[in-house]
Each structure stands twice: as structure tokens, then as C-alpha cells.
Amino acid sequence: MWKENIKPVLRGVKYSLYMVRQNPLTIIGISIFLGFILMAIFAPAIAPYDPYEINPPELLQPPSSQHFFGTDECGRDIFSRVIYGARISLAAGLTITIISMIIGSIIGIVSAYMGGIVDDIIMRIADVFLSFPWIVMAMAINSVLGRGIINTVIALSIVWWPIYARLIRSQALSIKQMPYTEAIRALGAGKLRIIFIHILPNSLSPVLVQASLDIGGAILWCAALSFIGLGAQPPSPEWGAMITVGSHYLRESWWYATFPGLMITIVVLGFNLLGDGLRDIIDPRLRR
Amino acid sequence: MDELLNKNILVIKNLKTYFYTYEGVVETLDGINLTFEKGKVVGLVGETGSGKSVTALSILRLIPWPPGRIVDGQIYFKGQDILKLSEYDMQKIRGNEIAMIFQEPTTSLNPVYTVGHQIEETVKIHNKINDQEARERTIELLKMVELANPKRIYNQYPHELSGGMQQRIMIAIALCCKPDLLIADEPTTALDVTIQAQILELILELKERLGMTILLITHDLGVIAEVCDQVAVMHAGVIVEKGEVHSIFRDPKHPYSKGLLKTIPKIDENQDILQEIKGEVPKLINPPTGCRFHPRCPYTMDICRKKRPDEYIVGNSHFAACFLCK
């Protein structure tokens, strides 16, 4: 029986694979994404050195066969640190995106379904969040909560949800008018069932695309807040924090800040390509 | 009164549903009276905008507020006034005792779930049964609506089925709890003629088997003549004539029903110009005073502009709301 149940799913997967093959950029995006994930998971196996191990004789060594990306001011291997940094960035990026997606989706969909005054109030609150320069607000919240990567995650999630709320609301408003929503209501379904089992899955595809694009953004802004000293603190191998310290040595040791910066660039690019590809697969209307 | 409620499964009394828009109050239903005898098929005809679908939604209490609201009247279903029930009790009636089939089968099924899942869902909402039983019941329902290869269809998505098959699925969903009253809102409008006949036949057959009462909403007089026992003609939110289907078709009393029947093209005459009823359904924000049909009526008298006609008895259980029949 499970074989029969899985059949439609298999057909969907097959179609998606076909769609992915059509677009080389999507393949690049997926490769970067997978590489990043594997790097984060198998960091201890890949990294040749302990990222926290101080090695005074080898301060600020340029890239060589021993130290692919050189060493930092304490003699720590930058290659190993960059690889461990992937764990922090992945965890932070995913958490920010998932938290803001869940909060935003619930608020947005309830707002759309309830309509009227509830909708007005929720959307005006979202407007307040969106009208304020959000990176400034994230900095302010992060400063109030105190330094640290967890507070950065909280701060970014707080400023990020209105994007999802707006997005899913606009979708849900049109789904709410569809005859099948009325049909299931006529069959005796309750409010919660209609909202979360019938409207939500139909409104979700643009949200998932936005999320896949946003993971890259979340990693970038998390690194940015760490760079200005609000997020991860040294000696954590967080990429943004590494760039902060590395920037002091930029004249004589170019490799220190360059490689973490390069990693951020590649990962964010990867997530953007992946997001574009996903959008093409999920929403055929947007296909070029 | 009690006798009336016992004999009839559904009694609608003086139902008024208004929509409150920015431009003003739209009196979409203005005093509807209808009775549904158990086991009969009642047809509701009228032009677009005459309030047929609003009547159906009012019975299920699905008028969206804002902007719509049932402002007056009673709807007695099996002897109790369902307008007084709580929303929770009403949910138990919807789909369980009163079910509805919609006009567009294509958009009335949720595109993200398989057909089997959607039937099962409704089965599970109203019955406490486990997955295995629900699945068996679903396959059984798919067989009941005469779909070939139900096991295959169970795993298919709505877009993989034809319009006729989708409408059969809708029927299966509507009938999963053996409702006492089935509201069919233009169930065949989106289908082609041969499929229409099949679907109507299926609905009638299932009606016999399950002992349902049916409210059939349509603007197709051919469909009414074919399947209905009784018919009510609606115009601008008012029922202008109602009675046994043969007496209305043979001898329509209200000028609107007469006009409506004249619009059917005759197959045995050479007609150059199709018949029509002059004008259109009046805007219900400022409905015409008196009889709502008087601006379009060929027999308008002075009294029509001033007074609203009552329902006058014109034959054996045949009523018409027109001063000509007084």
C-alpha cells in the first residue's frame, strides 16, 4: 500500500529532476549548496587542524601546502577555521530563515483569512517593521539583547518575518477566494482546517522560494552583524568575525580576511542560484 | 405549522439576505418562501444575478460576512431553525446532512491533494474511523459514482482528470456521509452535453438509492424539465412563481416565467430571431418599487409600481406573485 501512496510523490521528483537539468545555473547552485552542507557536517573530518589551536611559531603564514589559506595572528589554520565557520553560518542562516518563515506564515495566513480589522492591524504592524531600515533595527535589537550569535539570530528573525507575512498573505487572499475553499467549508470543515490544511499548502510555494533566497541573505547579514562586533565573538571561527580581525592585518596578510570573505560570497551566490532555480521549478508562470 | 415541518425536510420562510457594500445595501434575497418535500427534486431557475446561488449559500449559512448577512427569516431543516444554531453545530450539519455540489468541478477540488485524500478527508471530518476504513469507504464511493478503475483514481491529482470525472469526484465527496439534502449549484453548466446527461442521470439514480432531497439550481430549462418534480422561478431576489414542473411548463402564469419559456428556441419552427426578455435583472441596490419585474413586464399596471404582489394560488400547489393572477 505504501508503494501506491508514494507513486505521485515519485512522479513529482522525476519532473523536478528533469527541470533542474534544464538549467545549468541551478546545477551550480545545488552543487554549492550541497558542498556547503557537507562541509558543515563533516567539518572535523575535512579540517586538517583544530580551528582553536594556537601555534605561535607560525603566525600569519601565507598560503602554502601546509596551510592552504595561510594562518592568522595566533597561528591558527585559516582553512580549518573557515570550514568550521560553515557550521555556524549554516545553523544561523537556517534558524533565522525557518523562525521568520514560520512566524511570518502563521501571522500572514491568519491575517488574510480573518480579514477586516484583524488584517488591518497585523498589516500595519508589518508596515512599521518594513518602513524602518531593518538592518539598523536588527543592530538596535542585537545591542539591547547583548552580543552573541544567538542574539543576532533572534534580532534578525524579529526584523525578517514581515516579508513572509506579506508574501503569504497576498497568496492566501487569492486562495481564500478559490471555489475549493468554499467547497470544503460547505462540507463542514472548521476554520483551522481550512487555514492550515487547505490554504497554507497552496500559498506556500513563493514562500519556499523566498526562503531559499533568504538563507543566503541571512548568512550574509549574520556575518555583517558579527563583522561590526555584535554577533559571534572571537575566537569563534564565524566568517564575519574573522573578517573583522583580518581587516587589521589586510596590508601585510591579504589572505586572512580574503578567504572568509570569499566563502561568504560563494555561499550566498549558491543560495541565490538555488532559489532562482527553485522558483523556476515550483512556479512555471515565472519561467523565462 | 407543525404538520408543514413534519412533511417537508426543509422549509424556508421569508428569507432575507442583504449585502452591505460601500455603494449601499444590496437586497439580494427579499423574502424567499420555499418548501422541500422529502425525496423530491426541486429546481430553482432564474437569470444570472437573480439570487439562486445566494439562496443555496444561505441555506448552508455560508454567506461571507462582511459584506453579506441573513437579516430575517427562518430556515427549518428537519424541524429545527438552523439560523439559530451555533457555528459549531452548523459545521456538523454541513457535509453531513446538507451537502453541496458546485458549478466548476475543476476549481472546486484542491489542486495540492490527491483525489483519494480529499474524499477521505471529508469522510474523516464527520466519522470517527481509522485510515484503513476511510480508504475502503473512499474506494467504495468512487465505485458508487461509476468511475472506472477507482484504485488508480484514488492516487491521482484533480488536474489529471477530465471535467466529467472531476464532477463525479465532487458528487462522491458530497455523498460520503449520505446527506438528506443535496444542493447542486449548476452542476452541469461547465460540462458538455453528453456528460451533462450522464451526470444528471447519476445524481437522480443516487437520489433514489440514498433517499435524498435535491435542490437543483440551474438556468437551463431543459435540465429542469427533465429531472425536477417542482420548480421555483426566481427574479431579482424574489420567487415569482412556483409549482409542479409540468403545470408551470404547460401553463406559466407569471409574465417572467412566460418570457423565460419563450426564450427556448423551437426545433420545429423556423425562427430567425431568438426570443429574449427585455432589459436585465435590475440592480438590487435600488430595486424597483412594487413588483420588481414591472420595468421589464409587458403587462405593467399602475398597481405594479406601487405594491408588492403576494403569492396567489393559481392552481394545484401552483403559486404566482403577480397581480394578474389575483
Residue reference for cell 446527506: B179
- Cβ–Cβ below 8 Å for A182 and B173: no
- Which pLDDT score is estimated for A283? 66
Q: Which amino acid is at A39?
A: M
Contacts for A137 with CB less than 8 Å, ≥ 6 apart: A129, A159
* Residue B168 cell numbers, joined: 463525479
Q: Does residue A1 carry a pLDDT above 60?
A: no
Residue in A178, A188, A201 nearest the CB of B95:
A188
pLDDT band at A140; cut points 50, 70, 90:
very high
Pairing of strands B24-37, B213-217: unpaired
Q: Does residue A4 carry a pLDDT above 80?
A: no
Q: In this predicted complex, what is the ipTM?
A: 0.79
- Cβ–Cβ below 8 Å for A182 and B62: yes
- Cβ–Cβ below 8 Å for A179 and B91: no
If one compares A15 and A91, the residue with the highest pLDDT of the two is A91
Calpha distance B262→A234 (Å, rounded): 88
Distance from CA of B95 to the nearest CA of A (A): 4
Specify the pTM: 0.78
- Cβ–Cβ below 8 Å for A183 and B93: no
- Which pLDDT score is estimated for B313? 84
Pairing of strands B98-101, B181-185: parallel
Quick one: what percent of chain A has pLDDT higher than 70?
96
Distance from CA of B128 to the nearest CA of A (A): 15
- Which pLDDT score is estimated for A8? 67
In this structure, how many other beta carbons lie within 10 angstroms of the beta carbon of residue B134?
19
Residue in B66, B104, B174 nearest the CB of A179:
B104
Domain assignment present for residue A15? The answer is: no
Distance from CA of B39 to the nearest CA of A (A): 21
Calpha distance B214→B207 (Å, rounded): 8
What average pLDDT does the structure give for chain A?
A: 88
Give the C-alpha distances (Å, rounded to integers) separating B238 from A153, A233, B241, B286: 61, 75, 9, 15
Calpha distance A4→B140 (Å, rounded): 18
Within 8 A of A201 by CB-CB distance, chain B residues are 112-113
Q: Does residue A288 carry a pLDDT above 50?
A: no
> How many A×B Cβ pairs under 8 Å?
73
Domains of chain A: total: 1
Domain assignment present for residue A1? The answer is: no
In this structure, how many other beta carbons lie within 10 angstroms of the beta carbon of residue A115?
13
Give pLDDT tens digits for B170-223: 988 888 888 899 999 888 887 888 888 888 888 888 888 888 999 999 888 888
In three-state form (DSSP H/G/I as H, E/B as E, the rest C), the secondary structure along B207-266 is: HHHHCCEEEEECCCHHHHHHHCCEEEEEECCEEEEEEEHHHHHHCCCCHHHHHHHHCCCC
- Cβ–Cβ below 8 Å for A187 and B94: yes
Within 8 A of B102 by CB-CB distance, chain A residues are 179, 182-183, 186
Q: Domain of A177?
A: 22-49+64-286
- Which pLDDT score is estimated for A31? 92
Within 8 A of A180 by CB-CB distance, chain B residues are 107-111
- Cβ–Cβ below 8 Å for B151 and A188: no
Q: Does B92 touch chain A (CB under 8 A)?
A: yes
The tens-digit pLDDT sequence of chain B (326 residues) is 667 777 788 888 888 998 888 888 888 888 888 888 888 899 999 888 888 888 988 998 888 877 888 888 889 888 888 888 888 888 888 888 899 988 888 888 988 888 988 998 888 888 888 888 888 889 988 888 888 888 888 888 888 888 888 988 998 888 888 889 999 988 888 788 888 888 888 888 888 888 899 999 988 888 888 889 999 999 888 888 888 888 888 888 888 888 888 888 777 777 777 777 777 777 778 888 888 888 888 888 888 888 888 888 888 888 888 888 77
Quick one: how many helices (H) and strands (E) in chain A? 12, 0
Residue reference for cell 458549478: B103
- Which pLDDT score is estimated for A286? 55
Q: Does B94 touch chain A (CB under 8 A)?
A: yes
Within 8 A of B67 by CB-CB distance, chain A residues are none
What CATH number does the domain containing A83 carry?
A: 1.10.3720.10
In this structure, how many other beta carbons lie within 10 angstroms of the beta carbon of residue A241?
24
- Cβ–Cβ below 8 Å for A183 and B100: yes
Partners of B230 in the β-ladder: B42, B244
Give pLDDT tens digits for A206-221: 888 888 888 999 999 9
Distance from CA of A3 to the nearest CA of B (A): 11
Domain assignment present for residue A175? The answer is: yes
Q: Does B265 touch chain A (CB under 8 A)?
A: no
First and final CA of chain B: distance in angstroms?
A: 25
Domain assignment present for residue A39? The answer is: yes
Per DSSP, B102 falls in state -
Domain assignment present for residue A6? The answer is: no
- Cβ–Cβ below 8 Å for B100 and A5: no
C-beta of residue B166 within 8 angstroms of C-beta of residue B103: no
* Residue A35 cell numbers, joined: 558542498
